[in-house]
Structure 1
Amino acid sequence: MTPTNVISSQDRLVLFGLGLFETLLISESGPLFSDLHWNRMKKGASFLNLKFPDQSEWTRLIQEFIRLNPASFPFALRITLSGGSPGTDLPAQLFFNVRPLPYRPEQYLRGIKLHLLSAPRNEHSPLVSIKSTNYLENLLAKETAVRYGADEGIWLNTKGYLCEGTMSNLFFIKDNKLFTPSLASGCLPGTRRYTILELADILNIPTEEGLYTVEELLASDELFVTNALMGLMPVCCVNDVSFTVSPPAAKDSLLRRLESAYKQKMSGYP
């Protein structure tokens, strides 16, 4: 499977938005956490019955693309797997796209603002478990949050429990314990969500995955969101409720301890 820049008008990605994507953070060391991204796309490809390269071929294709398309580090590499067209014997295609990182250093110092979205996330949809290219709902929800002066929107599910951000997973800290909505809430199994829970276990930070209310979120001591490009992003405000954002390396902040461990883990790649 060779990446291409040309897509057929018969491809189901064009006709129906049928496909998958992963966005990898590329540093001087190479693609970070590519194994987690490969595993998630592989599961999605199996779910959609799409042909997908094995991990060694995936890694080779990424490294070859980076070599032939130099860019300033760090940057984002989006990998899209199209749906192809079984009716015309058109196989699934891979597409690679590069873009700069959208997050600014000052955001990690002061935190970002979240807006609680009024439209719910459907936790029963089969799409919540895969990274689908059918992303219009996310884009519209993000635009709604921006109109309210926020940087990111947070979905509740149809039962009113916290779910996820439009482009991120949600974490909050209360009484030195880390909480995050469980996959049963309808949130995407994020690569950095997995990594943060793994790091918390290493640091002996108690964790809990469950179904939580807005009231529990607003009563938290610290909160942050995660995705592949932002890593851990502190939150300073949810709607009109403000939260203290600890300074970097603050020893009494679980958020900053996790941030430090995450940076150390990134420095160890590949």
Structure 2
Amino acid sequence: MYIYLNGNIVHQSEAAISPFDHGYLYGLGVFETFRTYGGHPFLLRDHLSRLQKGLEALNIETNIKEAEIRQVVRALLKKNGWEDAYCRLNVSGGPGEIGLQTTPYEHATTILFQKELPPSIPLREKEGVFLRLRRSTPEIDERLKSHHYLNNLAAKREIGPSPDKEGIFLTGNGFICEGITSNIFWIKDGAIHTPSIETGLLNGITRRFILALAEDLHIPVHEGFYRVSDLESASEVFFTNSVQEIVPVNRAGNITFAGSNGQYVRLLHENYRKYVTYLNSIEDMKEGNTHATND
């Protein structure tokens, strides 16, 4: 597999970073995961916007340009011989002196790698597992998609390696927060319910897209602080992330749900797939610029 590293495309066996990279020493870095459909990086503009905000929060002075990332994505797909791929764009503070740095990071390490995916992802059900481990609070005011992943890793160890399960984090106060690598939604009384970002969840790009789709489809949405009992009285439950799209839940605890037979899950999935080969940003969809592309 070939990857992009600081301006060059190299084979993964030749890639290396400094042992003094502050992304390695102190977890000083952020990343985005997105996927391509027929070569198109879906919602790339939104992913890069969130990445740039994270870099600013970490005082990493680098400007990630959309046109350049698009070119890199295309070049890697061609080099690797793929069209549909998982992409991870990772930016760390780069090498520095030993010790915590308060001045800006001016020599970021930028890596983009890919993994081949099938062109179409069917609705695959998972079991939701309420975690004993509580969700950690964000490092700063809003949770970043950062290298600080111990809380997620420990949660995954708690539920085990099965790909058919996803853990559900509760906050320290017992409110539903998010999945280990996903956001969570449920349907109750004909409306979509999802935890508020004030619970400390990661405001996922796919989460935002689902909320925009719901508005377009005139489905009521409620964001707030919810207990487990609120979810248990739902008719449908589903997770979302940028690679697995919409993941219906068939069971959580002792409660069963509609899973992939759910009316709203199927409606949202059908409409989700209409946009994947050309949409650059959620704002484009809202403004009706759905066929504008920079590819």
Q: CA deviation at 1:129?
A: 1.8
Show the 5 A alignment for 1:102-181.
Answer: 108-109=123-124, 111-126=125-140, 129-146=143-160, 151-181=165-195
- Aligned-residue sequence identity (percent) comes to 31
Q: CA deviation at 1:46?
A: 0.5
Q: CA deviation at 1:3?
A: 5.1
1:2 paired to 2:18 = no
1:27 paired to 2:37 = yes
Q: CA deviation at 1:85?
A: 3.1
Q: CA deviation at 1:255?
A: 1.7
Deviations 1:83-110 (A, max 9, x none): 21343987111112222449x966x25x
Whole-Å Cα distance in 2 between the matches of residues 148 and 100 of structure 1?
21
Equivalences, count: 262
Match of 1:231 among 245, 257, 273: 245
Show the 5 A alignment for 1:53-132.
Answer: 53-71=64-82, 73-87=83-97, 91-101=107-117, 108-109=123-124, 111-126=125-140, 129-132=143-146
Match of 1:14 among 2, 24, 31: 24
- What's the secondary structure of 1:129's corresponding residue? coil
Whole-Å Cα distance in 1 between the matches of residues 160 and 22 of structure 2?
31
- What's the secondary structure of 2:63's corresponding residue? coil
1:245 paired to 2:250 = no
Q: CA deviation at 1:195?
A: 0.3
Q: TM-score when scaled to structure 1?
A: 0.88
Contact 1:83/1:92, CA 8 A, preserved across alignment = yes
Structure 1 regions of 5+ residues with no counterpart? none
Whole-Å Cα distance in 2 between the matches of residues 235 and 38 of structure 1?
29
The answer to which of 233-242 and 138-147 deviates more is 138-147
Contact 1:79/1:94, CA 8 A, preserved across alignment = yes
Contact 1:32/1:266, CA 8 A, preserved across alignment = yes
Contact 1:192/1:228, CA 8 A, preserved across alignment = yes
Q: Which amino acid aligns with 2:28?
A: L
Q: TM-score when scaled to structure 2?
A: 0.81
Whole-Å Cα distance in 2 between the matches of residues 57 and 119 of structure 1?
40
Whole-Å Cα distance in 1 between the matches of residues 57 and 217 of structure 2?
34
Q: 1:181 to 1:97 in 2, by over 3 A?
A: same
- What's the secondary structure of 2:202's corresponding residue? coil
Whole-Å Cα distance in 1 between the matches of residues 87 and 21 of structure 2?
22
Structure 2 regions of 5+ residues with no counterpart? 1-5, 10-14, 99-104, 280-292
Contact 1:114/1:151, CA 8 A, preserved across alignment = yes
Whole-Å Cα distance in 2 between the matches of residues 149 and 57 of structure 1?
34
Whole-Å Cα distance in 1 between the matches of residues 252 and 163 of structure 2?
11
Show the 5 A alignment for 1:204-223.
Answer: 204-223=218-237
Contact 1:115/1:150, CA 8 A, preserved across alignment = no
Q: CA deviation at 1:206?
A: 0.3
Deviations 1:147-193 (A, max 9, x none): 79961101001111010001000000101100111100111010100
Contact 1:101/1:229, CA 8 A, preserved across alignment = no
Q: CA deviation at 1:116?
A: 0.5
Whole-Å Cα distance in 1 between the matches of residues 267 and 88 of structure 2?
29
1:261 paired to 2:271 = yes
